[in-house]
Amino acid sequence: MVTAPLLGTGDAEAAPASPPSPDPVATPPVAGLHLQFGADSSSEMVVSWHTLQPVRNPRVVLGRLDGRLEQTVEAQAASYTDAESGQIVYAYHAKLGQLQADSPYLYAAMHEGAAP
């Protein structure tokens, strides 16, 4: 994954207190990642993944190969019970729109506490 640095104001100020981050050991990773064409296959893709426990803030960021981010799309959550194992599976789907044909993109699926 290509990332761009975040630039601040240059002033060294104390950051406001933020809530504690989720425990990365207990947070499930992004797994089962796949892409599917959207309803308009010329300009839409759906990014999906699953976890075995619910997560917070599932989303996909989309950008160009130069690291410029253009969209952050919230993923919609659904769950089902796996017939073989009886385990609840949580699935996440983010529909990316306004894509241009024949254009390279960079994307990352993520949720709080997990690496993209």
Hey, where are the domains in the chain? 31-110
Asked which of 23-37, 45-59, 68-82 is least confident by mean pLDDT, the reply is 23-37
Q: Is the pLDDT of residue 28 over 50?
A: yes
Amino acid present at 76: Q
pLDDT digits (tens, 9 = 90+) for 65-82: 998 888 999 999 999 999
Written as six digits, the tokens of 90 are 């949580």
pLDDT for 25 equals: 56
Which is more confidently placed, 111 or 23? 111
Round to whole Å and give the CA distance between 11 and 91. 41
pLDDT for 97 equals: 94
Is residue 50 within 8 A of residue 44, CB to CB? The reply is no
Asked which of 19-23, 68-72, 81-85 is least confident by mean pLDDT, the reply is 19-23
* DSSP state at residue 27: S
pTM: predicted TM-score of the whole model, two decimal places: 0.74
| Alpha carbon distance, N-terminus to C-terminus of the chain | 8
Domain 31-110 CATH (choose: 2.60.420.10, 2.60.40.380, 3.40.50.300, 2.60.300.12): 2.60.40.380
